[in-house]
Structure formats: C-alpha cells, structure tokens
Structure 1
C-alpha cells in the first residue's frame, strides 16, 4: 500500500508561502487565488475527499478556516490553481465549497496581522468513508470540520508558513 500524501507544486512544506496566495482584504494585497494541490495513495474504501486549509495561529481563540471543499469524488486526485474561485466554476463536478471564516464560500488567502510571527497554514486532504456530506448550504466551517472528521478514514497534510512585516 502506498503512503497517502498531499503535495503542491506551488507551496513547499515548511517553507514560506508566496505572496500571490495572500488575501485581498484587511490591508492584504494578494491575488487571493488558491494553489494547485495533488494527492495520491488514498486507502481502499475511500468514497470521496474533503480538503481543508486552516491557520491555528490566528488570534481568534479558535484559529481561522481559509478553505473547505467537500464532496470531491473519489476519482479526483488534484485541484487546479484557482480551484477556490468563489464562483465554484473551477471545482470538479459535484464538489462544493463551504463558508469559511471570511464569510464566503471559496478560497480566502492568508492575511495574518502585520508583525505577527509567521502563521502556520495546515493543508489537509481527508479520505472519507461516504460518497457525500449532506450539510446545509449555510453551514460553518466548524460544522463541516465536525462532519469531515466523523467520516475520515485517512488524512494527509502539510504545513507551510506566511507572515507580513510590521
């Protein structure tokens, strides 16, 4: 059995994330485009995937959800650049984005407070034991996270960093 792994041609694990993936809100001036992601080695029994991007260092008391995608078919093994476009048009058929902490459905790029120590951004793909997650259209990322974790049979992650000067 091969190892379940998540990779990106745009972001290296442990490295600083390029500014182009930064949000374009709250004084941040990035392109707010999601990176390309690829995964392989999902375990037998995988019926769908979910993808999350989370900043545990956000000064909120509960971190910050930057992207949540659910109902990715088991046949899908990658997301193209800008798959997180708010329109959803760049996602594989059947997949859907959940409302993130910016208050919309789609990719919300990095935008840590200026001068903070670089934040960690955890990219995770979850192999799920169900074909789809039936959650409300207005569900929060926390509710989606609960349902994702309740149905996860395996997951693969990498963490990268991003900070802004003071």
Structure 2
C-alpha cells in the first residue's frame, strides 16, 4: 500500500499540470494559428509578468499576444497599435499598445526578434483580442533573434508559474 501511495503522490503534479494546460483560460488555443503554424505545435509557450505570451515553433518563428487575464483587466479593446513588419525589437521594449474603454496599455516584447507579420484583422476588429486572446487575437508573428531560447530567457514563465502569479495579483 505504501508503494502505491508513493507512485500516486509522484504522479499527481503531472496530472495537475496537464489539467491546468487544458483548462486554463490563459493556455494557447490549440485550434488557431499560433498553435497550428507547425504540425507539431509550438515547442514552447512562455508568459511574462506583464501578461504577454509567446509561442515559439521549431523554426524560431514565434507568435506574441496578451493573456486572457490581461484582456479581462483591460476591458473591451477599441484600438490596437502594432509595429511595422521588419522592425527589430529587443526583449522588454514596447511592441505596441492596446486601448480600451477603460485604459491604454503598452505591450512589451517577451524576447528579442524581428516582426515578420502583424495581425491585420485587429485593425478593423480590435475586439478579437478580447474574444480569443490566446488564438485569433495574436498580435505579431516574429522571427526570434539568433541564439534566443525562450526556455532560458530571464523573466519568462511556464503556464504553471504564470498562473501562480495571478493568485498574488488578485
């Protein structure tokens, strides 16, 4: 009996992590472009303390957006300002901003990279950020800088780590 208890105890965190990834409103939408860009899905999804997410694929292409938590705090988006294609942005620099009925918020770059594409749908339909921030509401597609590994970039968190910070934000 003791042996079974130990096995169960060691497996519980894994089950909890799987449940969190599948049930969190801050998890990437697996039916949308940021996930489906490559057949394997992203190799890593990381989060910032400022509530941005970055999904990185095998070829170093990354999608950046803001979390569901951020859109809930922001309110209904009325305008999204994004950088021009070809812009190089360093980690921590402003990527753009989102204006809402409540306020305006800067969006910060999670990792060094060059903008390859912006989500032009947001120009006419900024509310998509609120409707599906973890999918259709992605902001930019970029190529990460040479040698950038988001799993080693200081300040980026896993979904589990990010969700723990939200408990302290409330």
TM-score when normalising by structure 2 = 0.28
TM-score when normalising by structure 1 = 0.29
- More relative contact order, 1 or 2 (CA 8 Å, 6+ apart): 1
Structure with greater helix percent: 2
